Homo-oligomer: A and B are copies of this chain.
Amino acid sequence: MRKMPEDKVHKITSVTCTAPVNIAVIKYWGKRDEDLILPINSSLSVTLDQDQLKTTTTAACSRSFKEDRIWLNGKEEDINQPRLQSCLRELRRLARKRRSDGDSSTDVLSYSHKIHICSVNNFPTAAGLASSAAGYACLVYTLSQLLGVEGELSEVARQGSGSACRSMYGGFVQWRMGEQEDGKDSVAEQVEAESHWQELRVLILVVSAERKPVGSTAGMQTSVETSPLLKHRADSLVPGRMEDMINAIRQCDFAAFGELTMKAIVAYTFDAGPNAVIYTLQQHMAEFLQVVMQFFPPETNGGQFLKGLPVSPVTLSEELKSSIGMDPLPKGIRYIISTKPGPGPRLVDDPSLHLLGPDGLPKKTA
Contacts and interface: CB of A to CB of B under 8 A. Distances in A.
A208 B275 contact: yes
A53 interface: yes
A24 interface: yes
Contacts of A329: 329
Contacts of A324: 270, 274
A49 B341 contact: yes
A144 to B, nearest CB: 9
Copies in the complex: 2
Interface in A252-286: 254-255, 257-259, 261-283, 285
- The residue among A59, A118, A275, A307 with the most chain B CB atoms within 10 A of its own CB is A275
Contacts of A366: 71, 74, 118, 120
Given A275-B204, A337-B123, A354-B58, A25 B269 contact: yes
Interface in A323-355: 323-327, 329, 331-348, 353-355
Given A280-B201, A292-B205, A333-B206, A268 B273 contact: no
Nearest to A202: B339
> Interface of chain A, helix or strand or loop or mixed?
mixed
A15 interface: yes
A280 B203 contact: yes
A342 to B, nearest CB: 3
B337 A206 contact: yes
A257 B138 CA distance: 41
Nearest to A117: B356
9 nearest A-B residue pairs (beta carbon):
A128-B273, A274-B325, A49-B342, A258-B267, A170-B343, A58-B355, A141-B345, A52-B339, A259-B259
A46 interface: yes
A20 B27 CA distance: 40
A340 B48 contact: yes
B14 A356 contact: yes
Interface string A115-150: 010111001101111100000011001000100000
Contact of A339 (B48, B263, B269): B48
Interface in A1-39: 12, 14-20, 23-25, 27
A59 B131 CA distance: 66
Contacts of A338: 52, 201-203
A41 interface: no
B339 A53 contact: yes
Contact of A262 (B190, B199, B204, B267): B267
A361 interface: yes
A183 B217 CA distance: 62
A362 B76 CA distance: 10
B362 A71 contact: yes
A159 interface: no
Contact of A273 (B62, B323, B333): B323
B116 A361 contact: yes
